[in-house]
Amino acid sequence: MRSSKTTLITLTIALVFSGVLAGTGISAEDSPQREHQKKLIFDMGESLFQEKKYDLAFRQYAEFMDLYPRDRYSVMVLERMAYIYEKKQYFEKAAEVYLELYERKGNTYEGAYYLFRAAEHYNYLGLDMTAEEYMRQILENIPDSPEAQRVKIIMEKTDIPPETSEF
């Protein structure tokens, strides 16, 4: 496993290299150097994440998303960012990331999972109406998903009929 100092040196080299690339006139979109830079930023984030250095990993992931928002790894990066928000108990931020993931995946099983996670976080925050809205959206749009089954169970357990009075 790399030390943080080695990882930091690697990142510094990548950033300096990207500055050199910017002045060359090479198309940054397709260049092998840009691909290398992207891999370095991603790998740096992953290394820091594995070392449980979540603040530093989050910075790398945020930079990755700024530079490559639609890259094939962007969904994984967003998942990692949501996880870090959860670890830090920033449930509203985690919910926002899960909603972005849902927007990317749409009404698929993966999308249902992300929407369910957002609903869970809004529920943690006491925003029951928002959580319920997202749960109903799962039932309406992705009714055969595993999350729809979970939503049905939750709604059955929490649907308490009005109490009857003996007076």
CATH number for the domain including 17? Answer: 1.25.40
Question: Is the domain of 22 the same as that of 94?
Answer: no
Instruction: Locate 158 and state its tokens.
Output: 């929490």
5 and 79: one domain?
yes
Residues 13, 84: one domain?
Answer: yes
Name residues whose C-beta falls within 8 Å of residue 30's C-beta, 6 or more positions apart in sequence.
Answer: none
How far apart CA 66 and CA 61 sit, in angstroms, is 9
Stated pTM of the model:
0.75
* Per-residue pLDDT at 15 exceeds 80: no
89-125: per-residue pLDDT in tens? 999 999 999 999 999 999 999 999 999 999 999 999 9
- Confirm whether 165 is domain-assigned: no
Query: Highest-confidence range of 15-29, 122-136, 149-163, by mean pLDDT?
Result: 122-136
Residues 114 and 137 in one domain: yes
What is the domain range of residue 142?
89-158
Domain boundary among 36, 62, 88: 88
